[in-house]
Structure 1
Amino acid sequence: MILVTGATGQLGTAVINQLLQKVPVSQIAAFVRDETKAVNLIKQGVTIHIGTYDDPQSLERAMQAMETVLLIAGTDEENRVRQHQHVIDAAKKARIQRIAYTSRALKDPSTLVNRLMEGHFQTEDYIKASGLPYTLFQNSLYMDAIPQFVGGDAVFERGIYLPAGQGRVALALRSEMGEAIANALTSTTEGNVTYQLTGSKSYSFYDVATALTALSGKSVTYTPAELSPFETQLIGRGLAAVVARRITGFITDIANGQEDIIRPDLERLLGRKPTALNQGLNLLYKL
């Protein structure tokens, strides 16, 4: 039995969709906060457990008879580590055979500007200290996030304006990461394993602009922004200062090369090359 937490989120959905193609539905369970968002899972016969990362009893109930638990990182960044610890503690109490976690592939966590990313590595340390057999999935930035980064369809009128310098990212589609994770969860694994799920090539925002130009037939340019004016602009759009700093910190880490990691793990788990930038943007923008 495999329990997927955060199962109605985008990555959780991608993983479960792939698991349904690999194992009987009776072997799949989902941990969700809101049953109304799990209607499709229920229709497919997936066992549903209701609860939150802040409710240890609901976690303990959900883990009864489970062999593997996939902990998908929570979205409450301020409380994420504590919530993840609740999941890991429940897994240890239930004596599950393997815990898996969706972390982040970053070059040097000790030099991060966006310190909230440290929560992923604190979670990894807590998993390792638990004594449970583990599989860690350190994921690169989703290619699916590019439209959000560059302003959606407005990019074709305004171009790309970000303080990312010449920083490169080994972008990969979320759906392919979900497929790779499902493949790993359904294979026989001994010992502790860490996968770094990245694309097979890294790209700068110059490359993104070139790809969007070729796909759309419209001229898209990338202008590297200065950090301070960019952050001021975000605040001027109505974002809280703390949120603006998080965004600029995230993009600064890209500029500093934190996301420029290329590993073969995603390709190996997929059994094929991950989707390249042009094809991925074509899918995302429906061009």
Structure 2
Amino acid sequence: MILITGATGHLGRAVLQTLAATTSPHHLVALVRDADKAADLHAQGIHIRVGDYSDRASLDRAMEGVTKVLLISGGGEADALQQHYNVVDAARQAGVQCLAYTSRALKDPSTLTNQLMERHFQTEDYIKASGLPYVLFRNILYMEALPQFTGPQVLATGIILPAGEGKVAFALRSEMGEAIAHALLENTCANNTYYLTGGEAYSFHDVAAALTTLSGKPVAYTPVEAAEFEKQLAGRGVPAVVVPRIVGFMTDIKHGQEEIVSSDLEQLLGRKPATLSEGIASIFSL
């Protein structure tokens, strides 16, 4: 049986969608905080187990009879790293045969501006030290995050970001979920690391050009300093706690952290991943 944590989140649902279409839903377990939000998964025949990363006892119960676990990284809570450790510890105690984790594809973790990302690599180290067979999915920045960065009125305002000339090998979260599902269905768990990225790295000039072509309206990208961007985010009503995280993402992009390009996503999908233009057309409904 395969257990997917964070099963009602966007990535969790994307993974389960492919798994349920490829194998019997009765071989799948969804770990959720709220069973009501998983009613549609239950209706498909997927086993629902209620638990929380912070509740070790609930994790122990969730692991019963499970052979593979996909740990989808948690949010930005202060104890997020300990939450990850709890899942790893529960998997080890349950004798799970394979532990997979959704990490991040970043060029040099030792020079990150966005310190929130460090917990991914600390979790990787903890998994490796656990002795469990593992698979690491190092995911690039989701293409679906673009509207959060550009703002809702991007066609009128253009793109104003402190990302310099940095590039990102954007990929669709939905395709990452599909690829992860394919990897989980393989029989091997040989301590592999996959870099799930798009087939090309794009600058925000490229994003602006795609928006221009698809919308028929001129959209330009204007690099700005971080301080000016912070004011813009505050003016948009972005929560104060979120502002430095977004700025951290942009600064790391500026420094080339997100420009990694790998063929792993294409190989797992069995086709080329969506291009920037294809993804933007869907995300922005253009």
1:121 maps to 2:121: yes
Tell me how far apart the structure 1 counterparts of residues 81 and 148 of structure 2 sit (CA, whole Å): 26
Tell me how far apart the structure 1 counterparts of residues 187 and 222 of structure 2 sit (CA, whole Å): 47
1:7 matched residue in structure 2: 7
Q: What are the residue-to-residue correspondences of 1:114-263 with 2, within 5 Å?
A: 114-152=114-152, 154-239=153-238, 241-263=240-262
Structure 2 residue matching 1:21: 3-state secondary structure = helix
Please identify, of 215-224 and 239-248, the stretch whose mean Cα deviation from structure 2 is larger. Answer: 239-248
Change (3 A) 1:114 1:182: same
Instruction: Verify the 8 A CA contact 1:77 1:116 in the aligned structure 2.
Output: no
- Report sequence identity in percent: 59
Tell me how far apart the structure 1 counterparts of residues 235 and 212 of structure 2 sit (CA, whole Å): 29
Tell me how far apart the structure 2 counterparts of residues 238 and 176 of structure 1 sit (CA, whole Å): 30
Structure 1 residue matching 2:283: 3-state secondary structure = helix
Tell me how far apart the structure 2 counterparts of residues 279 and 237 of structure 1 sit (CA, whole Å): 27
Question: TM-score w.r.t. structure 1 length?
Answer: 0.97
Structure 2 residue matching 1:135: 3-state secondary structure = strand
Q: What are the residue-to-residue correspondences of 1:18-33 with 2, within 5 Å?
A: 18-33=18-33
Change (3 A) 1:200 1:77: farther
Instruction: Verify the 8 A CA contact 1:267 1:273 in the aligned structure 2.
Output: yes
Tell me how far apart the structure 2 counterparts of residues 126 and 190 of structure 1 sit (CA, whole Å): 17
Structure 2 residue matching 1:85: 3-state secondary structure = helix
Deviation sequence 1:75-125 (CA, Å, 0-9, x none):
134221100000000000000000000000000000000111000000000
1:104 matched residue in structure 2: 104
Structure 1 residue matching 2:166: 3-state secondary structure = coil
Deviation sequence 1:139-196 (CA, Å, 0-9, x none):
00111111121113x1111000000111100000011000100000001214210001
Structure 2 residue matching 1:126: 3-state secondary structure = helix
Shift of 1:232: 3.1
Letter in 1 for 2:56: P
1:63 maps to 2:63: yes
Tell me how far apart the structure 2 counterparts of residues 77 and 140 of structure 1 sit (CA, whole Å): 21
Tell me how far apart the structure 1 counterparts of residues 201 and 233 of structure 2 sit (CA, whole Å): 27
Structure 2: where are the runs of 5+ without partners? none
2:90 matched residue in structure 1: 90
1:265 matched residue in structure 2: 264
Shift of 1:243: 3.1
Tell me how far apart the structure 2 counterparts of residues 136 and 204 of structure 1 sit (CA, whole Å): 26
1:47 maps to 2:23: no
Tell me how far apart the structure 1 counterparts of residues 55 and 240 of structure 2 sit (CA, whole Å): 31
State the superposition RMSD in angstroms: 1.2
Question: TM-score w.r.t. structure 2 length?
Answer: 0.97
Please identify, of 182-191 and 80-89, the stretch whose mean Cα deviation from structure 2 is larger. Answer: 182-191
Shift of 1:237: 4.5
Change (3 A) 1:157 1:77: same
Please identify, of 12-21 and 36-45, the stretch whose mean Cα deviation from structure 2 is larger. Answer: 36-45
Tell me how far apart the structure 1 counterparts of residues 87 and 78 of structure 2 sit (CA, whole Å): 16
Structure 1: where are the runs of 5+ without partners? none
Letter in 1 for 2:5: T
